[in-house]
Amino acid sequence: MSWYLATPLALPFLTAVIAFLARHFAAGRWISVFGNVLLLLAATVLMARVRGEGVIAAQMGGWRAPFGITLVADYLGAVMVVITAITALAVSIYALADISERKEYLGYHALFNLLIGGVTGAFLTGDLFNLYVWFEVMLISSFGLLILGGGKAQIDGGVKYVTLNLVSTILFLSGIGLLYGLTGTLNMADLSRVVPEVENQGLVTVVAVMFMIAFGVKAAVFPLFFWLPASYHTPAFAVSAVFAGLLTKVGVYALIRMFTLVFIGDVAFTHTILLWVAAFTMVTGVLGAAAQNDIRKILSFHIVSQIGYMIMGLALLTPLALAGAVFYLVHHIIVKANLFLIAGVVERAAGSTELGRVGGLYQSAPWLAVLFLIPAFSLAGFPPLSGFWAKYVLVAAALEIEGWIIAGVALLVGLLTIYSMTKIWTEAFWKTHPDGINPTLNRIGPGDRRPLLYPIAGLAVMTLVIGFFPEPFVGFAETAATQLLDPAQYIDAVLGGTG
């Protein structure tokens, strides 16, 4: 049993070690691709298992559940691992052409796979302190990736990214300490059982808010998101794509996990805060994006605004809303990573990502324009693309419990998202190039074109598939939501032998 859970965790680390040893050779980059193919296979096997058997858990080192470290996979965890593997594979193919040899020599592929390992670990662990460790694995490799190459802007963005994330880490750690002091356990399933029995529920709420802030920084919610638009446009495109796709979503995942499993004692307080946070996150993100003039900066602010939708699903805490949040997570990771990858191609073809210095792409690279339109309109929520269904489910959930205001905000932000996407469209694709360049894809070296465009096309196809056949995905998200709202299955799977 533990084999299924441990493989997706071990593979990225193995790949990282081998890729590090092979960093002097061209083979290093193929090792990364190959490792991520295996990761996708392992993740799919895990997913099939979870679909067949429900929540599965494994005790590491043979220590029984609340004492040892537990790995758990429920629907949410499994689907996140699969989507991580998909993103990792797409980005590692893209990196074949995007990462310079110097960065490879500095250990890009090793850091990248360590990052994936950290993300996977965070999705699979069932122990709070272990979650902290995975966050650190993820964080330290993301530091390395962010400043790899040492450009001025990278160092500048890195300072902000590193400092704010370290503050969040300390808060997380202190929260863990206090929670342990209150309950005497750090196993999440055990916490879910013990926390309601704690005498001083006020203190539990205090700790809950500490976790909310700590994960809120990671998830980049209002008003804690400032590190994100300061840094995400500075590193290599492959790096910013994987950051945009996965990192903030680990924060969202941790919020969903903790605020459905452990901190559900004072929903009226904590989830009301979350609802306000969600509304403000959506609005500030989208307004921030409207003020930017660089493709990657616009997209960075849109990450913030989209995070608001997921938090909204969590805050409403109905089965439909949570299903919407899960669906949104999956859709968003694919779409967002893809948009950043496209930004990289735009720079290669037209020379910049600054909107004032590019143009003419529709004329000279119509297929790239189509590939941009799919995720861009999906992000904005055009039917029948995946973003439409994600927003539809969330808004329907809000209307169901008469949350008129939050539903209105969600719809309005969707409209404003269209504004930013049309801005990129008109500036980068529609108008003629200001320098009179004809930015065809031929400006990209022939060897680089395929690795750059295949992952983009693959992710775009995935967006279309989710869009045209949303039913199985929504059904899946609904099952995930049911599991989240009724943690008995999760607790049984983890503590079964000792309960």
Residues of the shown chain interacting with other proteins in the complex, contacts defined by CB under 8 A: 129, 132-133, 136, 139-140, 143, 147, 150, 152-160, 162-163, 166-167, 169-170, 173-174, 176-178, 180-182, 229-231, 233-234
| Alpha carbon distances (Å) from 198 to 13, 185, 193, 279, 392 | 39, 12, 10, 32, 39
Q: State the minimum distance, in angstroms, from the CB of residue 237 to other proteins.
A: 16
Q: State the minimum distance, in angstroms, from the CB of residue 160 to other proteins.
A: 8
Q: State the minimum distance, in angstroms, from the CB of residue 396 to other proteins.
A: 38
Q: Which residues sit opposite 187 in a β-bridge?
A: 127
Nearer to other proteins by C-beta: 251 or 467?
Answer: 251
Nearer to other proteins by C-beta: 120 or 165?
Answer: 165
Q: How far apart are CA 75 and CA 474, in angstroms?
A: 12
Nearer to other proteins by C-beta: 162 or 258?
Answer: 162
Q: State the minimum distance, in angstroms, from the CB of residue 221 to other proteins.
A: 20
Say whether 59 sits in a helix, a strand or coil. strand
- For residue 423, the Cα-to-chain-centroid distance in whole angstroms is 25
| Alpha carbon distances (Å) from 437 to 275, 320, 351, 352, 443 | 47, 50, 9, 12, 10
CA angle 80, 342, 470 (to 5 degrees): 45
Give the residue from 90, 88, 56 showing the smallest Cα distance to 75: 56
Q: How far apart are CA 439 and CA 454, in angstroms?
A: 19
What values do phi and psi take at 421, rounded to 5?
A: -65, -40
CB 96 within 8 A of CB 33: yes
Q: Which residues sit opposite 72 in a β-bridge?
A: 57
Nearer to other proteins by C-beta: 87 or 292?
Answer: 292
Nearer to other proteins by C-beta: 127 or 478?
Answer: 127
What values do phi and psi take at 59, rounded to 5?
A: -95, 120
Residue type, 184: G
Nearer to other proteins by C-beta: 37 or 140?
Answer: 140
Q: How far apart are CA 493 and CA 65, in angstroms?
A: 10
Nearer to other proteins by C-beta: 157 or 375?
Answer: 157
Q: State the minimum distance, in angstroms, from the CB of residue 147 to other proteins.
A: 7
Q: State the minimum distance, in angstroms, from the CB of residue 230 to other proteins.
A: 6
Nearer to other proteins by C-beta: 169 or 482?
Answer: 169
* 248, two tokens: 């903030």
Q: How far apart are CA 285 and CA 281, in angstroms?
A: 6
Q: How far apart are CA 244 and CA 488, in angstroms?
A: 33
Q: State the minimum distance, in angstroms, from the CB of residue 178 to other proteins.
A: 6
Give the residue from 276, 300, 268, 312 showing the smallest Cα distance to 411: 312
Nearer to other proteins by C-beta: 231 or 364?
Answer: 231
